């Protein structure tokens, strides 16, 4: 296995190297630069030129690229041109916030989706079935920027029971921190939760029709044991597959939720970096995203190979 991973490493390094060149060039080819932003609206060309020189942006592109590469290889991501803070610290802080939001949303989605899915599969009342079906359909269909704004209007503006935005004290004051987290996490979790509910309900209905379940009923198994030991475990695999896909989409949707709730996560940071042409910060963020993708690919391949010996043999 170790040999297999080692054999994958050269191609991973090549991918990262090519990605670094593409990211660097794409940013430099787009018009606008951080010196213009730093100089402000009425600055003259001489001021912009002086700022550009101060940032080292007047050097030849290959030199700028090599300086960046040397920084990455030595573990120094540099300082943001616009925010003037160490990039490692900026990314670290925003990553913690995004992970907090995403974790909250995923937990809510799993909890809410499981309960609703279970109810949809087991409640016999047609009215309740239709109601739950409509609720989950809405959850999937209504975009997060609509649910986010509605939540703010109801719970922050009208009833004033939750803060309208911001990240709060986080885990240092759990009771307050969770109130800041609640609305953005709910807004972000709704499509995922609704999707989980619909898939779980469909999968459970399918499982309930299976012969072995009917046999269990005929043998007099108690309802709770039948559901817990046979129906739910057999219905879960397709749901977990969908959950994996949904988590990716959820992270994408986090950018919108972060904007609505002024939640300072990675999405906000990237948006700010791109619009301000904060070259170094944008380059580092995008390269980290590519690196994460490459690592996930390697891990997936390793897991596949571990599960299925045919893959291992094929790649040997």
Partner 1 sequence: MSHHLRRAVAATGLAAILVTTGCTSAVSRQDDAGGGPSRGGTLHIVQGADVQPATLMSQNNPNFSLDRLVFNFLIQYDHKTLAPQPELATSWQVSPDGKSYTFTLRRGVTFHDGRALTAADVIADLKIIQRPEVASQVKGIAKQIATMTARGDDQVVITFKTALSNVFDLFLMMPIIDPATADQLFTGKKFNGTGPFVVQKYTPGQGFQLARNPKYWQKDRPYLDGVDISVVRDSQSMLSSLKSGQSQLALDLAPLDASTVKNDPAYQLVESDAHDSVSYVGYNVTVPLLSDKKVRQAISYAIDRDRILSQVLGGLGTTTSLPWAPSSPAYDESKRTFYRYDVAKATSMLRQAGATGKSVNVYYDSGFGPNNGLAEIIQFDLAAAGLKPQLQPLQASDFLSRLRSGGFDGMFLTGHGFGQLNPATLLGGAFPFNFAKNASSFDNPQYQTLAQKVWFAGGKPDPAALGEVNDFLLDQQFVSDLVTGSHTFAISSRLKGLSWTMLDYLDLDDAYLSQ
Q: Please report, as residue ranges, which positions from 212 to 251 form the binding site for partner 1 (by CB under 8 A).
A: 223-224
Binding mask 181-200 for partner 1 (x = CB under 8 A): -x------------------
Alpha-carbon Rg for the chain, nearest whole angstrom, is 25
* Residue 168 binds to partner 1 (criterion: CB under 8 A): yes
**SS3 label, residue 124:** coil
CB of 290 to partner 1, least distance (A): 23
Residue 18, CA distances (Å) to 71, 119, 227, 312 in order? 17, 50, 51, 28
Interface with partner 1 by CB under 8 A: which range of 17-25, 133-141, 208-216, 259-267? 259-267
CB of 270 to partner 1, least distance (A): 11
Nearer to partner 1, 88 or 302 (CB): 88
* Residue 143 binds to partner 1 (criterion: CB under 8 A): no
CB of 57 to partner 1, least distance (A): 12
Q: What value, to the nearest 5°, has the Cα angle with vertex 125 and ends 123 and 126?
A: 115
Among 164, 206, 234, 297, binds partner 1 (CB under 8 A): 164
* Residue 61 binds to partner 1 (criterion: CB under 8 A): no
Chain centroid to Cα 78, Å, comes to 25
Among 117, 139, 163, 193, binds partner 1 (CB under 8 A): 163
Nearer to partner 1, 68 or 279 (CB): 279
Residues 20-49 that bind partner 1 (CB under 8 A): 30-34, 36-49
CB 23 within 8 A of CB 283: yes
Burial class (CB in 10 A: 0-12, 13-18, 19+), 199: buried
CB of 300 to partner 1, least distance (A): 33
* Cα(171)–Cα(57) distance, integer angstroms: 40
* Cα(62)–Cα(175) distance, integer angstroms: 51
* Residue 142 binds to partner 1 (criterion: CB under 8 A): no
Residues 80-99 that bind partner 1 (CB under 8 A): 80, 82-85, 90, 93
**SS3 label, residue 86:** strand
- Is the Cα torsion angle 197, 186, 153, 268 positive or negative in sign? negative
Angle formed by the axes of helices 87-122 and 174-208, to 10°? 40
CB of 64 to partner 1, least distance (A): 17
* Residue 111 binds to partner 1 (criterion: CB under 8 A): yes
Which of left, alpha, beta for 173 (phi over 0: left; psi -120 to 50: alpha)?
Answer: beta
Interface with partner 1 by CB under 8 A: which range of 20-28, 68-76, 261-269, 296-304? 261-269
């Amino acid at each position: 296995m170790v040999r297999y991973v080692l054999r994958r490493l050269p191609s991973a390094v090549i991918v990262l190297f090519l990605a670094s060149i593409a990211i660097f060039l794409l940013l430099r080819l787009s018009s606008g630069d951080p010196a213009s932003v730093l100089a402000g609206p009425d600055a003259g060309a001489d001021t912009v030129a002086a700022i550009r020189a101060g940032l080292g942006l007047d050097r030849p592109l290959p030199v700028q690229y090599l300086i960046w590469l040397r920084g990455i290889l030595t573990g120094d991501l540099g300082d943001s041109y616009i925010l003037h803070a160490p990039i490692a610290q900026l990314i670290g802080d925003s990553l913690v916030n995004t992970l907090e939001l995403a974790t909250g949303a995923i937990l809510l989605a799993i909890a809410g989706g499981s309960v609703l899915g279970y109810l949809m599969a087991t409640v016999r009342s047609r009215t309740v079935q239709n109601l739950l079906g409509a609720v989950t359909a809405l959850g999937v269909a209504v975009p997060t920027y609509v649910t986010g704004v509605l939540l703010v209007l109801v719970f922050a503006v009208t009833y004033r029971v939750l803060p309208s935005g911001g990240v709060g004290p986080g885990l240092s004051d759990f009771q307050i921190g969770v109130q800041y987290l609640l609305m953005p996490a709910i807004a972000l979790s709704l499509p995922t939760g609704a999707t989980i509910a619909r898939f779980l309900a469909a999968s459970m209905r399918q499982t309930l029709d299976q012969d072995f379940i009917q046999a269990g009923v005929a043998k007099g198994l108690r309802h709770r044991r039948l559901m817990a030991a046979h129906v739910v475990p057999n219905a879960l695999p397709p749901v977990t597959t969908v959950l994996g896909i949904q988590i990716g989409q959820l992270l994408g949707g986090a950018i919108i939720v972060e904007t609505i709730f002024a939640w300072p996560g990675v999405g906000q940071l990237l948006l700010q970096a791109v619009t301000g042409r904060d070259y170094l910060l944008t380059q580092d963020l995008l390269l980290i995203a590519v690196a994460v993708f490459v690592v996930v690919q390697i891990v997936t391949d390793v897991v596949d190979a571990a599960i299925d010996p045919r893959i291992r043999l094929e790649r040997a």
